[in-house]
Amino acid sequence: MGKGGKSHEETKSGEDENMAAWLVGLNTLKIQPFKLPPLGPHDARVRMKAVGICGSDVHYLKTMRCADFVVKEPMVIGHECAGIIEEVGSEVKNLVPGDRVALEPGISCWRCDLCKDGRYNLCPEMKFFATPPVHGSLAHQVVHPADLCFKLPDNVSLEEGAMCEPLSVGVHACRRANIGPETNVLVMGAGPIGLVTMMAARAFGAPRIVIVDVDDNRLSVAKNLGADGIVKVSTDMQDVAEEVERICKAMGGGVDVSFDCAGFNKTMSTALSATRAGGKVCLVGMGHHEMTVPLTPAATREVDVIGIFRYRNTWPLCIEFLRSGKIDVKPLITHRFGFSQKEVEEAFETSAGGGSAIKVMFNL
């Protein structure tokens, strides 16, 4: 179990109760007590103020698993978060009570070869909010390492601070793909991660961005947020060749880098086919655990395929993008809820339902 807290079964009566949203069974969330661990010398106790719902949270609710991570006992949900420092450990020098902070949710070991090499996001001992068996952050308070609590400038809201988590995925993807002012970008999927990847690519200097989706509403949102071109596609594999033609026409030139933010056979096949010889395809979304894609034709054109897993060292840059106005995530927050039993249930129903919902945010 991670820093976040202890099982509600360990809460002693008579103590002030810290409440959290627990995933206790399939499609069942309950607000219950959540006992905090002792504050370590390098820790901070943070009062949560803004927590977003991620697709993985919905996955856990609907299936009790996400990829290879399986929920086997009650777990506090949530990992996109920001709050206010309540207390700091004796060795914490950079934060004081009252500071507004965004939390990076993963605690790596800092001892393994990957951590020592700087690729701590791949640490096999990673303890990540709301990834079994580690509890999450949809709670009144959590305890977290102070070095993973990043102070927010005055002009960046707590909601925007919570959005640093999904934005970090886009920023890490753009770093992995070396996006710059000479990189024309294709984004497959206009969901929350596709949209933040588009925003990050623009902030990294991409001159032209085309985004693709099956949904007219999401494409309209993408266009309003700055996409240079939008292409509506189907879910039919037979349409790939024709859709690649339309994508290239919308781009007005070659696709240098494609980001597959959905992760399905169709989207990855389209990305591989649309990307120019010598270009790159970055797989961001994980819709399918396994895929059948035209890899050999892509290999003969020396199209590089790269993957990403979460992020590393992204919070300072995300906060700077928000502070400077290079990225505005506020339009992505479409729905807001309080922290009652009824509102927690309604919020997850809204997020799972899709429709006009992009990012659903709790205000605690």
Could you read off the pLDDT of 64-97 as tens digits, one per residue? 998 889 999 999 999 999 999 999 999 999 999 9
Asked if the model's pLDDT at residue 7 lies above 60, the reply is no
Asked if the model's pLDDT at residue 3 lies above 60, the reply is no
pLDDT of amino acid 4: 53
Q: Are 262 and 293 in contact (CB under 8 A)?
A: no
Q: How far is CA 280 from the centre of its chain?
A: 22
Query: Cβ contacts of residue 349 below 8 Å, gap of 6+?
Result: none
For residue 208, give both structure tokens: 């032209």
Burial class (CB in 10 A: 0-12, 13-18, 19+), 320: middle
For residue 231, give both structure tokens: 């292409």
Asked if the model's pLDDT at residue 12 lies above 80, the reply is no
Could you read off the pLDDT of 310-349 as tens digits, one per residue? 999 999 999 999 999 999 999 999 999 999 999 999 999 9
Q: Residues of the chain with pLDDT > 90: what percent?
A: 92
Section 112-128 average pLDDT: 98
Task: Give CA–CA dist 79/148, Å, rounded.
Answer: 13
Provide the 8-state DSSP code for 17. Answer: P
Section 177-200 average pLDDT: 98
Average pLDDT, the chain: 95
pLDDT of amino acid 354: 81
Tell which phi-psi region holds residue 69, choosing left (phi > 0), alpha (psi between -120 and 50) or beta: beta
Residue 164 pLDDT level (bands cut at 50, 70, 90): very high
Q: Are 82 and 49 in contact (CB under 8 A)?
A: yes
pLDDT of amino acid 158: 98
Asked if the model's pLDDT at residue 5 lies above 90, the reply is no
Q: Which architecture does CATH list for 169-307?
A: 3-Layer(aba) Sandwich (3.40)
Distance (Å) of CA 89 to CA 46, 82, 94, 96, 197: 12, 19, 11, 10, 36
Helix (H, G, I), strand (E, B) or coil at 189: coil
Could you read off the pLDDT of 247-303 as tens digits, one per residue? 999 999 999 999 999 999 999 999 999 999 999 999 999 888 899 999 999 999 999
Tell which phi-psi region holds residue 324, choosing left (phi > 0), alpha (psi between -120 and 50) or beta: alpha
Asked if the model's pLDDT at residue 10 lies above 50, the reply is no
Asked if the model's pLDDT at residue 237 lies above 90, the reply is yes
Section 159-179 average pLDDT: 98
The highest-level CATH class for domain 19-151+329-363 is alpha beta
Identify the helix (H) or strand (E) that includes residue 265: helix 265-274
Asked if the model's pLDDT at residue 110 lies above 70, the reply is yes
Comparison of pLDDT for 27 and 6, the residue scoring more: 27
Q: Domain spans of the chain?
A: 19-151+329-363, 169-307
The half-sphere exposure of 189 on its side-chain side, counting CA atoms within 13 A, is 26
The alpha carbon dihedral of 147, 167, 286, 339 has a sign of: positive
